[in-house]
């Protein structure tokens, strides 16, 4: 029996095309996973001057919408800190938005992943102290 390996190619999906467009227009090398939100700014010549992507972790529409709302809320809170005399400092303002959105993601990570682990560790320490005849926590 002779077997041949024939490469199978698939036609790009609309999502593949959209991601390809975003990668080329925004000069991104990242492995972009959907869903995501793209934040970008343009300069006076209408050219893209900076951008960043925030991946959404939620797959369900409602949960993803709530996650998106939180990212936008963090961006707006960052903008509220800008004084009127600094409105023309576009790059610094964009950096504020970026750090606000990313710090919101860090805050979520700490609340959802780290705090439960710490609570578990506190419980274990309390039990060890109780068993050893010490004080509870």
Tell whether 53 is covered by a domain.
yes
Tell whether 137 is covered by a domain.
no
Q: How many domains does the chain have?
A: 1
| Domain limits for position 27 | 14-100
Whether the pTM exceeds 0.85: the reply is no
Give the angle 93-98-102 at the CA atoms, nearest 5°: 150
Tell whether 34 is covered by a domain.
yes
Q: Are 94 and 50 in contact (CB under 8 A)?
A: yes
Give pLDDT tens digits for 79-137: 888 888 988 888 888 888 888 888 766 456 545 655 565 566 566 666 566 666 655 55
Tell whether 63 is covered by a domain.
yes
């Amino acid at each position: 029996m002779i077997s041949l390996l024939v490469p199978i190619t698939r036609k790009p999906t609309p999502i593949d095309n959209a991601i390809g467009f975003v990668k080329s227009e925004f000069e991104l090398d990242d492995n972009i996973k959907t869903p995501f939100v793209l934040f970008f700014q343009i300069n006076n010549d209408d050219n893209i001057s900076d951008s960043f992507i925030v991946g959404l972790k939620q797959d369900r529409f409602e949960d993803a919408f709530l996650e998106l709302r939180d990212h936008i809320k963090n961006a707006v809170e960052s903008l509220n800190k800008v004084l009127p005399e600094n409105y023309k400092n576009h790059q610094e303002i964009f950096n504020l938005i970026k750090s606000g959105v990313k710090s919101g993601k860090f805050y979520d990570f700490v609340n959802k992943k780290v705090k439960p682990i710490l609570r578990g560790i506190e419980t274990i320490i309390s039990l060890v102290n109780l068993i050893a005849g010490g004080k509870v926590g």
